[in-house]
Amino acid sequence: MPTITHLTALEILDSRGRPTLSATCTLDDDAVASASIPSGASTGRAEARELRDGDKSRYGGLGCLKAAANIEGPIASALLNKSFNSQQDLDHELIHLDNTPDKSHLGANSVLATSLSFARASAVSQKVPLYTHFANLINHKPQKLPRLTINLFSGGLHAGGQIPIQDILIIPASATTIADSLAICHAVYQSAVQLLQRKYQSRPLVADEGGLAPNFPSSTTMIEDAVESIERAGFRPGQDVSLAIDLASTHFHQSGRYQLDNLSLDSGGLIEVIRKWTRQFPIVSVEDGLSEDDWTNWPRLRQAIHTRALTLGDDLLCTNPIRIKQAIKSVAADALLLKVNQIGTLTEAAEALQLARAANWKITISARSGETEDNWLADLSVGWSADAIKVGSITRSERLSKYNRLLQIERETHWPLEKWPLS
Ligand code: PGA
Ligand code: ZN
């Protein structure tokens, strides 16, 4: 029964140069571990609330000193020298201490940094790999590694809004290992660099998640360019390499209309555009095709594309068990994008995972656009047997720390990749 003897917090910077938190937890057997947490940009309205300092003279108000003080103050006072039987016990104590539906009292950032640092310290104490510890939390025995979904092109809030849709991702579908997947991705990425230079005279500058982000003339061209990059790299689109898209459409939804390129579409109009894309291009997953509040039209979107592509909910669901239940009931989606910081504790994220699994949904475990060099997400995706992982591009070290950790886990376990296509 571990007892926390020390709990400290540090304001650190994320990959966008904005403050975030790292917490360090020490247990009574001297096991000690830290965890750093990420932060989104295209956030959902129903996400748990990060606590930011609000002092405009420092980091434009984004400082995390109050959140760090909450960990070392009220959270430490409540947790130190108490025994916790399980992660669940600890997380319930945190939820109780915060006592708001959106973690806005202590801050979702303070709560999650504590929850994760305790998990990692517990893994150290038990002398098991972190992925095994995550699996044990949900009584699960993983045997597979997640399929990679890798950012190739970026738009939306991650790239200064040069194009409305946020991500075009490639999925090395024929790869049989993580190592192969990364090598295929590198070839497609290099082919894209050359294509974009030739077509748009653009230098290979990258957006928040490391994706390439030239001034594409339209969203459809962005998808066509991805297909051409796959072909020019010598792969067969749809067989060797498939596509996933994240429209993040909440962020181009204004007054009931979707402003896509030069079109102003109602929900039915956007569903038709997406339906055509899934027929024209090898798209196997569509994330946030509609906005987070367009509940009545999500089932229509799913109906229109489900024979070809997953209907993946990010902003719609916010890893929130209440919203996931609603989506299961109305058949609004068939896949969950799981981001632990959208809900704030590992225990609630596990509940979200289990609800989605019980409904036979597919799961993608995802990083945020503002990340740190911490790699716990790789262990989580393996321990919880995510069908896929979404971390960003193969450039930028906050992304690579997760891919490189997956390479280590692959060498350690020799587990095969999740089969593809998902069925
Ligand atoms: P975010 O974006 O971290 O900025 O929310 C990631 C995503 O939409 O998948
Ligand atoms: Zn998203």
Choice from 16, 314, 338, 391 to test ligand 1 binding pocket (greatest atom count within 8 A of CB): 314
Phi and psi, residue 263, nearest 5°: -105, 145
Give burial (CB, 10 Å; 0-12/13-18/19+) of 262.
exposed
Task: Determine whether the shortest distance from the Cβ of 341 to ligand 1 is under 6 A.
Answer: no
Task: Determine whether the shortest distance from the Cβ of 149 to ligand 1 is under 6 A.
Answer: no
HSE-CB at 327 with a 13 A cutoff on CA atoms is 33
Q: What is the mean pLDDT of the chain?
A: 97
* 420 confidence band (pLDDT: 50, 70, 90): confident
Give pLDDT tens digits for 356-396: 999 999 999 999 999 999 999 999 999 999 999 999 999 99
Task: Determine whether the shortest distance from the Cβ of 249 to ligand 1 is under 6 A.
Answer: no
Residue 44 pLDDT > 80: yes
- Span from the CA of 222 to the centroid of ligand 2 (angstroms): 17
Can you tell me the mean pLDDT for 218-232?
98
Gap between the Cα atoms of 408 and 186, Å rounded:
18
Give pLDDT tens digits for 321-346: 999 999 999 999 999 999 999 999 99
Give pLDDT tens digits for 144-193: 999 999 999 999 999 999 999 999 999 999 999 999 999 999 999 999 99
111 bridge partner residues? none
Pairing verdict, β 335-338 and 310-313 = parallel
Gap between the Cα atoms of 23 and 152, Å rounded:
32
* 62 confidence band (pLDDT: 50, 70, 90): very high
Ion ligand 2: residues, Cβ under 5 Å: 246, 314
Residue type present at position 244: A
* 84 confidence band (pLDDT: 50, 70, 90): very high
Residue 419: per-residue pLDDT: 86
CA nearest 88: which of 126, 134, 137? Answer: 137
Residue 93: per-residue pLDDT: 98
Residue 422: per-residue pLDDT: 67
Query: Assign residue 15 a region: left if phi > 0, alpha if psi is -120 to 50, beta otherwise?
Result: alpha
Task: Determine whether the shortest distance from the Cβ of 41 to ligand 1 is under 6 A.
Answer: yes
Can you tell me the mean pLDDT for 284-300?
98
CA nearest 228: which of 260, 196, 181? Answer: 196
Gap between the Cα atoms of 259 and 103, Å rounded:
32
Choice from 42, 287, 336, 402 to test ligand 1 binding pocket (greatest atom count within 8 A of CB): 42
Residue 412 pLDDT > 70: yes
Nearest atom in ligand 1 to the alpha carbon of residue 158 is: 4
Choice from 43, 364, 368 to test ligand 1 binding pocket (greatest atom count within 8 A of CB): 368
Pairing verdict, β 257-260 and 310-313 = unpaired
Residue 423 pLDDT > 60: no
Single pTM value for the model: 0.98
Task: Determine whether the shortest distance from the Cβ of 342 to ligand 1 is under 6 A.
Answer: no
Active-site residue flag, 209: yes
Looking at the chain, the whole-number percentage of residues with pLDDT higher than 90 is 98
Catalytic residue among 66, 339, 362, 402: 339
Residue 1: per-residue pLDDT: 73
As given in the structure block, the two tokens for residue 223 are: 């998808």
Chain-centroid distance, C-alpha 397 = 16
As given in the structure block, the two tokens for residue 30 are: 């001297």
